Amino acid sequence: MSDFKLHCFAQSGHSYKVALMLELCGADWEPVFVDFFGGEARSDAFKAINPMGECPVLTLPDGTTHAQSGVMLDVLSKHFGKFGPETEAERLEILRWTLWENHKLNSFQGIYRFLRIFLPEQMRNDDVIGFMRGRALGAINVLEAHLADREWIAADRPTTADIACAGYLFFPRDEYGWTDEERWPNIEAWQARVQALSGWKHPYDLMPGHPLPRKS
């Protein structure tokens, strides 16, 4: 039996943050597949685990459960003594970027991607999708500018801020429909540094549920 369990699914960038953290920390863990697209996260059984009805949910070796990816990254950082702050200033900077990514960077990317490729075609609204695309691009450009003169987001080494911001950036570009002109060299260089960390894996190689079954 694994020490940690993560309720997750392959298409979830918020789940990916925690799965990646577990891998980078060398944790003994197992993914527990949640059929999000089949409505499982809204079921009474799942809400007994997380009343918020969201993935991911992390179960610790002592049976304690946590919701919200930013909380999980903090818990795991303290548990393993990795990717955490060394000063109070770093703690606040990590917190700043974690709150920002959850509210803007990953929120906008995740909603835009969901509306674009996972929502049934008859329910898609081009105006809404276009609006969310613009919001996602705006957030990505903030990170691109921040990384212009630094290797890592919140310190002189990788921290949970980097893992948090990685949530949706490693999914395939074609899922977002980015054009050839929409490239971010600073982010791409940072992604290469993240990928070079021991234990890095792509979200579709780390969590169950990809590819989604095709409906006849």
Residues 138 and 49 in one domain: no
The answer as to whether 213 is a domain residue is no
CA dihedral 32, 36, 40, 45 (to 10 degrees): 50
**Residue 185 CA: distances (Å) to CA of 106, 124, 146, 160, 201:** 19, 31, 12, 22, 21
Residue ranges making up the domain that contains 144: 88-195
* CA separation for the pair 87, 96 (Å, rounded): 14
116 and 37 within one domain: no
The share of the chain scoring above pLDDT 90, in percent, equals 97
Q: Identify the DSSP state of 103.
A: I
Tally of domains in the chain: 2
Predicted local distance difference test score (pLDDT) of residue 18: 98
- DSSP structure class, residue 212: P
Domain shared by 120 and 64, yes or no: no
Give the pLDDT confidence of 84-143 residue by residue, as tens digits: 999 999 999 999 999 999 999 999 999 999 999 999 999 999 999 999 999 999 999 999
* Pairwise CA distance, residues 111 & 64, whole Å: 29
DSSP 33: E
Best CA proximity match to 13, nearest among 133, 176, 165, 134: 165
Helices (H), the chain: 13-24, 44-47, 69-80, 88-100, 106-113, 126-146, 160-165, 185-195, 203-206
